[in-house]
Structure 1
């Protein structure tokens, strides 16, 4: 399975989940490493855009194609099984607790979760603590240019 990630240049080959560990996110608390990836390039773009202030076009981003072994164990979370506040902004602690538990249990390599930004799309969270994490590989990186129209103030 190929998944995608957009990352600043210096971190384009870093799959450790360290950035998420430092900052925390919708699916992890600060202190819990997890690698956020998406099912498509378009979803990656939206995920970056929603976190950027209007008028600032992200620069020095790379598109990373990541290969996850086809036989990887994947835990899937249906939208119906999520707490009511799962899409809230700012994100809720309830989703962080779910993601933290996923990492701590280390039963599955990948956690497929619905995107809070694009209905019907999915993000794939990869657990750096899982025994098979070493099989997750960067396939390709290429400089990514965002369409400026996504960030223009009107």
Structure 2
């Protein structure tokens, strides 16, 4: 399975996590966020960056997750009805933290909070199976100037 991450070109040459807090992890928990498509990766950036933040130099990271790597799945039905609301970050962070702590898998499939029925994939860089996940290539990416955040 291919997954995608759009990031500043400066950070696009390796699979690393910042440890910053996000929807599915607390500060200090290292997770790499990816998306099922380039389009969803683009929307994730638009939502999480200011309009000015879209003017930098970006690249798409094309990442291969082998079919033999176990993927845990969080289904929307297992979440509170308003899970996508920013006030539910603690609920989602707890689920993500539990997954990281369990070391069950190197990948967690989670629903997109932006587009219903779309998926993001969290990568756990300290799981042994993460060594089988590879950065295939990077591609130039420019946000269309008509996109406003």
Q: CA RMSD in A?
A: 1.5
| Structure-2 separation of matches of 1:90 and 1:11 | 29
Matches within 5 A, 1:80-99: 80-89=77-86, 92-99=89-96
Alpha-carbon deviation of 1:150? 1.0
What CA distance in whole angstroms lies between the structure 2 residues aligned with 1:8 and 1:55? 13
CA offset at residue 149 of structure 1?
Answer: 1.0
1:63-105, CA deviations, whole angstroms, 9 ceiling, x for partnerless residues? 0100011111011111000133420125521100111111111
The CA distance in 1 between the partners of 2:141 and 2:88, in whole Å, is 27
Q: Which consecutive residues of structure 2, in runs of 5 or more, have no partner in the other structure?
A: none
Find out whether 1:150 has 2:147 as its counterpart: yes
Look up the SS of the partner of 2:13 in the other structure: coil
Q: Give the whole-Å Cα distance in 1 for the aligned partners of 2:121 and 2:62.
A: 13
Gaps of 5+ in 1: none
TM-score normalised by structure 2 residue count: 0.93
Deviation for aligned residue 1:16: 2.3
Q: What is the aligned residue count?
A: 149
List per-residue Cα deviations over 1:20-43 (Å, max 9, x = no partner). x1x210000000001100000000
* Runs of 4+ that moved beyond 4 A: none
Deviation of 1:135 (Å) = 1.0
Change (3 A) 1:50 1:91: farther
Deviations 1:9-63 (A, max 9, x none): 111023122x2x1x21000000000110000000000000011224653321100
